[in-house]
Amino acid sequence: MPFARIQIPKDAGRDVSPYDVEAMASQRLYKVTFLNQGQVYEIYARHVNQGGLLGFVEIEGLVFGEKTTVVVDPSEERLQREFEGVKRFYVPMHSVVRIDEVEKKGQSRITEVEKGGNVAAFPLPYFRTGGGDSSKS
């Protein structure tokens, strides 16, 4: 039984087996939604994994819209400026709202967190600063 073949990006110009993990990984696209300083960031990236830093999600290979489009979204333009020159970045796990593997890219954007909305920061434990003597109340 022959296996299916897929086409990698036009510039590569070769067919690949679906078992070629490296080629398939380069085609994957993820939509990552996370909280940052009271705002919800929605970005698209080629690679998302747990990374080497404990408690952080590693995101690399950001994908933005083409620069030749006439309609300009100020939110996406702001994201492009903010992440200009960034190869890889790390987001604390508790800030990640969701990660979706998607078929095609949508609009990257930054939105404000609405009061009473369906996106909220994960509650963090409360730690008291000061001495370790627990007998004092």
How far is Cα 33 from Cα 43, in angstroms, rounded to an integer?
A: 7
Tokens of 78: 């702001």
71-103 confidence digits (pLDDT tens): 566 778 888 888 889 999 999 999 999 999 999
Distances (CA, A) of 86 to 13, 24, 49, 90, 127: 28, 23, 16, 11, 33
What are the structural domain ranges in the chain?
26-112
Q: Which CATH architecture has domain 26-112?
A: Roll (2.30)
How far is Cα 47 from Cα 60, in angstroms, rounded to an integer?
A: 5
21-79 confidence digits (pLDDT tens): 555 556 899 999 999 988 899 999 999 998 788 899 999 999 987 655 555 667 788 88
